[in-house]
């Protein structure tokens, strides 16, 4: 549905997006992750036809954005960064304008508007000028506008930025309910969001794709992947040394954080060591307060990849 081939954007000598290629199929939710200024928004602006690429192309449902922009734009709903909307319009007049410009009129326009309003829960603010709305409502007006024509492709630039946790939850639910029949790209710098809604994550740094995979695959690249966190009630003295003697263990680190104190046991080559550790616990008769396998820390992967690049 979305095909991006060698997309490149240069602003003078500065390369904002450097040869990015990927495809997104129906049913996929792709999350763009990356530090500010990494090129996430610029990539989205090229896919939606706002910026002309310096090189490469983006094809939406078979229509090239550069060569047949109007056809390509019909397939897409786009929420630009900051969810801009005409401040002196009300959500109703604004959505009516969007419906008309998308070619709906009369009963059909009303039906599409009602659907979008219901999905984004805008019923209460329909007659207020958009400039008087809270940040959360403004964002929802932007989302409503993007999905009004039930597009096959949704491009959402930071859809949950500035929302409170409940609103974030609602928007994520909305994305998930739509995910099966659309191809969706969202950008975010919230790692929890990638975990919550994306079927695939792409880390972008300095205009390049530096990692691409499911959130679980990315998390597996963490140093913490398959580490075992063990908290002993008695505080066994020789626990560290005993653990280190296990063949699968390379390091043991004491940790103290919000969860309390404990030991972090790092496996050799990311293999699973929970069986070995629990065997040892049983034979040594330690009193266990907590034992947990960590799947890896996305934020650590993110930091490693984006600072190394």
Which residues make up the interface to another protein (CB under 8 A)?
45, 48-51, 70-71, 73-74, 76, 78, 80-82, 84-89, 93, 97-98, 100-103, 145
Distance, in Å, from the CA atom of 190 to the CA atom of 244, rounded to the nearest integer, reads 35
Residue 267 bridge partners (DSSP): 249
Q: How far is the CB of 79 from another protein (least distance, A)?
A: 9
Contact residues for 180 (Cβ-Cβ < 8 A; gap 6+): 27
CB distance 71 to 228 below 8 Å: no
Distance, in Å, from the CA atom of 85 to the CA atom of 148, rounded to the nearest integer, reads 14
Q: How far is the CB of 45 from another protein (least distance, A)?
A: 7
User: 22 is written with which tokens?
Assistant: 């990927």
Q: How far is the CB of 69 from another protein (least distance, A)?
A: 8
Nearer to another protein, 101 or 275 (CB): 101
Nearer to another protein, 76 or 219 (CB): 76
Tokens 């096959």 sit on residue: 152
- The three-state secondary structure class of 42 is helix
Give the neighbor-by-neighbor strand order of the sheet with 2-11.
14-24, 2-11, 55-60, 63-64
Nearer to another protein, 65 or 197 (CB): 65
Distance, in Å, from the CA atom of 116 to the CA atom of 94, rounded to the nearest integer, reads 12
Distance, in Å, from the CA atom of 280 to the CA atom of 187, rounded to the nearest integer, reads 44
Q: How far is the CB of 110 from another protein (least distance, A)?
A: 16
Nearer to another protein, 17 or 273 (CB): 17
**What DSSP designation does 142 have?**
H
Q: How far is the CB of 49 from another protein (least distance, A)?
A: 6
Nearer to another protein, 1 or 228 (CB): 1
- The three-state secondary structure class of 308 is helix
Q: How far is the CB of 73 from another protein (least distance, A)?
A: 4
Nearer to another protein, 80 or 262 (CB): 80
Distance, in Å, from the CA atom of 31 to the CA atom of 41, rounded to the nearest integer, reads 12
Please state the three-class secondary structure of 96-117 as a single string.
Answer: HHHHHHCCCCHHHHHHHHHHHH
Nearer to another protein, 85 or 186 (CB): 85
Q: Write down the H helix ranges in 10-59.
A: 40-47
Nearer to another protein, 9 or 297 (CB): 9
Closest to 207 (Cα-Cα) out of 55, 63, 67: 55
């Amino acid at each position: 549905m979305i095909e991006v081939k060698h997309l490149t954007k240069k602003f003078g000598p500065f390369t904002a997006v450097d040869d990015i290629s990927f495809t997104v199929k129906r049913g996929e939710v792709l999350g763009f992750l990356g530090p500010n200024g990494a090129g996430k928004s610029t990539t989205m602006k090229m896919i939606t036809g706002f910026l002309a690429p310096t090189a490469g192309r983006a094809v939406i449902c078979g229509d090239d954005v550069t060569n047949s922009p109007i056809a390509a734009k019909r397939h897409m709903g786009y929420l630009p960064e900051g969810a801009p909307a005409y401040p002196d319009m009300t959500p109703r007049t604004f959505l009516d304008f969007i419906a008309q410009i998308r070619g709906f009129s009369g009963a059909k326009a009303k039906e599409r508007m009602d659907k979008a309003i219901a999905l984004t829960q805008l019923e209460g603010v329909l007659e207020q000028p958009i400039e008087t709305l809270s940040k959360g409502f403004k964002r929802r007006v932007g989302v409503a506008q993007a999905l009004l024509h039930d597009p096959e492709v949704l491009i959402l630039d930071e859809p949950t930025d500035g929302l409170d946790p409940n609103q974030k939850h609602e928007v994520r639910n909305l994305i998930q309910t739509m995910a099966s029949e659309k191809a969706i790209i969202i950008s975010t710098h919230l790692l929890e969001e990638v975990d919550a809604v994306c079927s695939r994550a792409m880390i972008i740094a300095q205009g390049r794709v530096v990692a691409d995979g499911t959130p679980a695959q990315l998390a597996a690249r963490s140093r913490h992947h398959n580490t075992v966190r063990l908290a002993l009630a008695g505080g066994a003295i020789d626990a560290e040394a005993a653990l280190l003697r296990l063949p699968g263990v390379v390091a043991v680190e004491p940790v103290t954080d919000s969860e309390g104190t404990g030991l972090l046991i790092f496996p050799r080559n990311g293999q699973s060591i929970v069986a070995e550790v629990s065997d040892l616990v049983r034979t040594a008769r330690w009193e266990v307060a907590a034992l947990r396998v960590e799947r890896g820390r996305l934020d650590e992967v993110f930091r490693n990849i984006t600072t190394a690049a």
